[in-house]
Structure 1
Amino acid sequence: MFRLSNRNALLLLGIVVLIAFALRLYRAGTYGIYFDEKSTLLISQGVVLEGANQKDVFSKPYFTPAEFWKPKTFADFIDANIRGDIGNSPAYYGVLYIWIKLFGMSDWAIRMPSVLFSTLTVLLLYVFVRRHFKSESLALLSAFIAAIEPFFVAYSHMARNYSMTFFLTLLATHIFLLIMEKIMKREQPTGLYIAYGLTFITSVLSHYLTVTVFLCHGLYALLYLRNVRAWVTLGITGAVGLGLVSLWFIFGGGKYTFFTLNYQAQFYRNIALTNPTGTPFGLILPATIPNITVRAIPIFADLFIFTNGLGKALLGVRNSLVALGIGTLATLIIHQYGAVKHPSIWVRVAMPVLLAAGLLYYTVVPFRFLVLSAAIPFAYLIGRYVVDQTDNREKRLVIMLALLTFVPTFFLLFMAWRSGHTFGITQRYSGFSFPYVCILVAMGLRQLATLPWWFSTPLAAALLIQLGFLTQLLIEIYADAQPKYTYFDRPRIANPYWTSAQQLKELYTPGDTILYPNLKRPIYSEKIDKTYSPVGLLDAQLVNVYLPENAQFIQRIDPNEHDRIVLVKAKTGQKITIFDFEGTKFRY
């Protein structure tokens, strides 16, 4: 087995972490915040979207930044969390609140926690694999795969809870496995139980769907834990954790979560049944088995870096069957002759000939289908690594990896079926799986290196082609032109609220008046979305976030204007257009 000295390992790890940080930092503040990030920013400051907790500010004819920035109570934070994010993610908003106090609220600043948590996930993955699989090279390879994973890069550019939850759930799994080790040695790891409980609480209060990871821990314990005392201690840890989390659901913002989820299920189900294509939410279909399957295929394909982007190709049935058939045949050849030292010439040329033959058949995106055909033997290599290069303890850990890879997505599919619509089937809600998939992919690459060159070279060439596709995907992510991860089919501009605030600070003189446009947010739920105001307040709120907290700028909402922020000069009456949103073009 390939081993590294401690110095070399440390150097390589440093390079991997540096690559991860650079990929995540690059262009992180280039494009303006989109709607979910607007919610993030306001919630973290205790401000309710559309001003439900700012009636004393916006019910007057005029208001100032000083009035907007009056001190907020904990009740304000709860109300903002309820209306802006159904009571989800209070732990993340708490972290962001402290971060903003220290580093400000530019787009770059509010996204930096995501950049850091995503980079730390790469480092933690190295620690995880090195500790539990006892392999330096596998740990470094897993970390490198995570470093270049487009999913991680894309979500590190969002001021949302996702990167934080990926880190926390990986940390929770690490602690859980350390507890399992101590139990096997008949030790009582009290400190680890406390750490596990705290990580559980923080994870769930960072995103409710992190419970799927802890569900996997429970399934693993059911399979392998045979210690009554340990079950009791884990049960107490879980009960205390659930008890503390439940306080948020009883007394905090979480009390509206189940109401909102039920309302949303009915709302999206009605859309799926009556108007699946005519909404601003994208295509929402009834949750039939065929519809769920079509939505699930790209989700599962994108989990693995060597099949990322192949989901659409799989929907081309005829080409896919040929590619999968070629891949299956290639796998059988590897299985039969992979250990033969001096095979016949036809065995040596079989792999490149098979893969090239498919290129002559595929009618569209031929190199995508070439990669798809190579994915079958690569999946086989993952299995061979598990069989050949892991002991019984590590094989049990692979079971854990498999649970963590698939259970979160199957949970989403189940919830979609139960809710009656496909709206929630999206990669970010099962993104907790990606660190463990990186380990499985690293196993396949390690096994690939053990094959004779006549088998490994054509497969490596196919993986290099896939690396080219991934590079293109990263370029599109950086250009804000990849809807799969950025949600936009055209690049955003720099934050118009930030730039407007900077212009206003420069141009405003005492007596001037700032006019904000009135664009009402659609009211989907009377209980959650309904506000007191007859005019839209969101544009005014988002500009005021960036204005000085003690400023006395005179401001009002212009009920007859829908697009422009205007500065009216007191002395001349001149109207200066600060920014024109052009409807929804620049409101994202």
Structure 2
Amino acid sequence: MSTRSPRITLLLLGAIVLLAFGLRLYRAGTYGVFFDEKATLLVSQGVCVEGYNQKDVFGKPTFTPADYWRPKTTTDYIEAIIRGDIGNSPAYYVLLHGWLNVFGLGDWSLRMPSVLFSTLTVLMLFLFVRRHFRSDTLALVSATVAAVEPFFVSYSHMARNYSMTFFLTLLATHLFLLILEKAPDRRSPIGLYLAYGLVFITSVLSHYLTVTVFLCHGLYALLYLRNLRSWVALGLAGASGLGLLSLWFLYGGGKYTFFTLNAQAEFYRNIALTNPLGSEFGTVLPATLPNIAKRAAPIFTDLFIITNGLGSALIGLRNSALALALGGASALVMHRYWSVAKPPVWVYGAVPVLLLVGLPIYTVVPFRFLVLSAALPFFYLIARYIRDRTDSQTKPLVVGLLLLAFIPTLFLLFMSWRSGHTFGITQRYSGFSFPYVCILIAMGLRQLTTLRWWFSMPLVLVLLVQSAFIVQLLGKIYDDIEPKYTYFDRARIPNPYLSSAKALIDQYTPGDTIVYPNRQREIYVEEVETNTFPASVFDAQIANLYLPKEARYIQRINPAERDRIILIKGKTGEKITIFDFQGTKYRY
């Protein structure tokens, strides 16, 4: 445990949490909602994407906001989850529904739960490390790394379930370790098991892939839990949780999940075999080992903030081989002369020379390869921290960190191979690993402070180079032009549906008619692969979310209109273009 005073630790933690909150709040409501967030909005209000449960609304020649906002039943909400998110994330939608009822449907309020959960993850990480690794310093460094992690920042700006699941799974691991810690004394309070079971249920009902975290818990228990009573109690907690979860899969929206996943696997596998490069879903390749490895490289490099962005560099094999060889040589020098107070003169310059000698040789992005060359020495520092600064009680926790850091991604790769396509290999589906990787990074940074200057200074300078890349990356996230995180390389405008609704409220008078375009887009949900209606109702659905619930505005959809929301004045017949989506330009 650090000797730093509790007051100083608390002040530092407060500063870190404020930093995390500021980085997540900044520009969180600036850009318009994209397709997944639109689905989130609809599902949270019990509305099926493309109107499966609104046939009485859109099946008529005209409709009003009052028709659209008719009271919804539990069946409506379940149908919406089935058709909007394959039966996934009911816990998130329940929470978001309550939140939006209180704070409204604006973009800021829609994304605020993600901002808060992402900030709470930073705080939870501090508490986790302080409690289990018994080091205030390591806890503060871990929290700082998480505060500035671009992955966390970017997903805090999305009205999706991810930030909530990152927090819940970290909390679940904390509870799990508390249970194991008390197991030898046979004094684990029943409340811990109940809390663990509840978080398990909530996590899985927030995103199904959180099961990979609980798989890691099971593997860890197999390795280190030797108390029969605790095994029985954990088994009962797990069985009870699975029993309650089964209700959703037997009687709720989850009963369609596996059917839909099989249908999607076949769909994407067909794209991989027939049109791997030209589909609207991006590049979807057959799941050969080279294709899987190519997709996995950026997933693993971006997992560590010190190697973020190096995935594309690894494609250049000659440059990569040289950088890794120089980095390996640097690590060997550090290992050989780690404890030598007065090494040979050449050692003082060995690491900087080895790291810098490649700069004029790398044929592309030389500073990226400079960072890559420093990666192996840094990972060596992590290994040294684990060897030298963890005791017999803490070393098993490191094994747990490694399981949690890598198994979620390895599970994705296995599922990709099994499904026959690479579509699902994406960072967000294994993002539960990031808190644990932040701890490993903090170990390396902590160990860096103990190095002799002739080893530490060159590494610090390279880390500053990488910090510049991270700042640049955060800038692109805030500017909405970083595709690997924001999904866009061209910045979105503020929510056009919200601005259109405000314009309609200002300009509509009795006798006017609002006309919505027919957005041509196939929705692949459950067993239905076509829209419920001849014309797409999607644009009308989103716009009506922002119109007064009791309004009697006359509205219709024009199957021949592709892009414009139009207000037709009843007295003059004048057509006022409220918004022009211009094809896909303003449809995200």
- Give the TM-score normalised by structure 1: 0.99
Q: In structure 1, what is the equivalent of residue 190 of structure 2?
A: 190
Q: SS of the counterpart of 1:51? A: coil
Task: Show the 5 A alignment for 1:31-180.
Answer: 31-180=31-180
Please list, as runs of the form range in 1=range in 2, the aligned pairs for 1:155-304 lying within 5 A after superposition.
Answer: 155-304=155-304
1:578 offset after TM fit, Å? 0.1
SS in 1 for 2:534: coil
Give the equivalent residue in structure 1 for 2:454: 454
Distance 2:131 2:526 in 1: 51
**Aligned residue number for residue 397 of structure 2:** 397
Q: How far did residue 167 of structure 1 move?
A: 0.1
Gaps of 5+ in 1: none
Identical positions, percent: 69
Instruction: Sort the Cα spacing of 1:352 and 1:29 in 2 relative to 1 into closer, same or farther, 3 A.
Output: same
In the alignment, which residue of structure 1 is the partner of 2:466? 466
**Distance in 1 (alpha carbons) for counterparts of 2:92 and 2:529:** 22
CA offsets 1:26-49 (integer angstroms, 9 cap, x no match): 000000000000000000000011
Query: Any conservation in 2 of the 1:83–1:529 contact (CA below 8 Å)?
Result: no
Quote how far apart the aligned CAs of 1:259 are: 0.4
Counterpart AA for 2:96 = L
Please state how far the C-alpha of 1:445 moved relative to its aligned partner: 0.5
Q: Distance in 2 between matches of 1:210 and 1:34?
A: 24
2:517 is the alignment partner of 1:517: yes
How far off is 1:386 after superposition? 0.4
CA distance, structure 2, for counterparts of residue 554 and residue 573 of structure 1: 14
- Tell me, in whole angstroms, the C-alpha distance in 2 between the residues paired with 1:523 and 1:468: 41
Give the 3-state SS of the residue equivalent to 2:577 in structure 1: strand
- Is the 1:285–1:423 contact (alpha carbons within 8 Å) kept by the matching residues of 2? yes
2:436 maps to what in 1? 436
Structure 1 position 361, deviation (Å): 1.0
Give, in whole Å, the separation in 1 of the partners of 2:52 and 2:319: 54
Shift of 1:530: 3.6
CA distance in 2, matches of 1:394, 1:40: 41
Q: Match of 1:397, as an amino acid? A: L
Separation (CA, whole Å) in 2 of partners of 1:21 and 1:525: 36
Distance apart, 1:531 and its partner CA: 3.9
1:503 aligns to what? 503
Cα distance in 2 for partners of 1:268, 1:251 equals 28
* Residue in 1 that maps onto 2:26: 26
The question of whether the paired residues in 1 share the 8 Å contact of 2:65 and 2:549 is answered with: yes
Aligned partners of 1:3 and 1:137 also within 8 Å: no
The question of whether the paired residues in 2 share the 8 Å contact of 1:31 and 1:494 is answered with yes
Letter in 2 for 1:147: A
Task: Provide the secondary structure at the position in 2 that maps to 1:425.
Answer: coil
Contact 2:404–2:436 (8 Å) recurs in 1: yes
Tell me, in whole angstroms, the C-alpha distance in 2 between the residues paired with 1:227 and 1:171: 23
Shift of 1:524: 4.2
The alpha-carbon distance between structure 1 residues 212 and 223, as it changes in their structure 2 partners (threshold 3 A), is same
**What displacement does 1:519 show?**
1.6
Cα drift, residue 186 of structure 1? 2.2
Which amino acid is 2:277 matched to? T
> 1:2 Cα deviation (Å)?
5.7
Q: Alpha-carbon deviation of 1:230?
A: 1.1
Helix, strand or coil: the match of 1:32? coil
Where does residue 568 of structure 1 map in the other structure? 568
* Aligned-residue offset at 1:371: 0.5
Q: How far, CA to CA, are the matches of 1:481 and 1:495 in structure 2?
A: 16
SS at match of 2:539: helix
Superposition deviation, residue 338 in structure 1: 1.6
Q: Secondary structure at the match of 2:468?
A: helix
Structure 2 unaligned blocks of 5 or more: none
| CA drift at 1:188 | 3.0
Q: Cα offset for 1:149?
A: 0.1
Which amino acid is 1:234 matched to? L
Q: Is contact 1:330-1:351 (8 Å) kept?
A: yes
Tell me, what secondary structure is at the counterpart of 1:43? Answer: helix
Q: Which one is further off, 345-354 or 467-476?
A: 345-354
Q: What SS does the aligned partner of 1:50 have?
A: coil
Deviations 1:98-151 (A, max 9, x none): 000010010111000000000000000000000000000000000000000000
> What is the one-letter code of the residue matched to 2:391?
D
The answer on whether the counterparts of 2:84 and 2:525 sit within 8 Å (CA) in structure 1 is: no
* 8 Å Cα contact 1:82-1:528 kept in structure 2: no
Coordinate RMSD, CA, aligned: 0.9
Distance 1:346 1:57 in 2: 80
- 1:373 and 2:350 correspond: no
Aligned letter for 2:296?
A
Output aligned runs, 1:466-505, within 5 Å: 466-505=466-505
Provide the secondary structure at the position in 1 that maps to 2:312.
helix
Q: Is the 8 A contact 2:154 2:477 kept in 1?
A: yes
Number of the residue aligned with 1:3: 3
- Structure-2 change in CA distance of 1:2 and 1:348 (3 Å): farther
1:311-460 matched pairs, under 5 angstroms:
311-460=311-460
8 Å CA contact 2:522, 2:531 repeated in 1: no
Separation in 2, partners of 1:447, 1:490: 40
Letter of the aligned partner of 1:577 in structure 2? Answer: T
State the SS of the aligned residue for 1:578.
strand
Distance 1:309 1:221 in 2: 35
User: How far apart, in 2, do the equivalents of 1:346 and 1:479 lie?
Assistant: 46
Following the alignment from structure 1 to structure 2, what is the Cα–Cα distance between the partners of residues 189 and 468?
Answer: 48
Q: Tell me the amino acid that sits aligned with residue 560 of structure 1.
A: A
User: For 1:276 and 1:221, how far apart are their aligned partners in 2?
Assistant: 41
Asked if the contact 2:256–2:526 (Cα under 8 Å) also holds between the matched residues in 1, the reply is no
Q: Name the CA distance, whole Å, in 2 between partners of 1:240 and 1:530.
A: 39
Deviation at 1:526, TM superposition (A): 7.3
Deviation at 1:528, TM superposition (A): 3.6
Structure 1 residue 227: deviation in Å?
1.2
- TM-score, with length taken from structure 2: 0.99
2:96–2:113: 8 Å Cα contact kept in structure 1?
yes
SS state at 2:565 partner: strand
Report deviation, 1:248.
0.5
Q: Secondary structure at the match of 1:491?
A: coil
Give yes or no for contact 1:512–1:567 (8 Å, CA) kept in 2. Answer: yes
Runs of 4+ in structure 1 over 3 Å off: 523-526, 528-532
Alpha-carbon deviation of 1:355? Answer: 1.1
Letter in 2 for 1:381: L
Q: Distance in 2 between matches of 1:44 and 1:202?
A: 17
Deviation at residue 344 of structure 1 after TM alignment: 2.0
Q: Partner of 1:281: helix, strand, or coil?
A: coil
Report the Cα offset of residue 228 of structure 1: 1.3
Which range is displaced more, 526-535 or 76-85? 526-535
The alpha-carbon deviation at position 430 of structure 1 amounts to 0.1
Kindly indicate whether the alpha-carbon contact (under 8 Å) linking 2:186 and 2:229 is maintained by their aligned counterparts in 1. no
Of residues 521-530 and 206-215 in structure 1, the stretch that sits farther from structure 2 once superposed is: 521-530
Query: Which residue type is aligned with residue 492 of structure 2?
Result: R
Aligned length: 588
Cα distance in 2, alignment partners of residues 577 and 538 from structure 1 = 18
In 2: Cα distance, 1:565 partner to 1:524 partner? 25
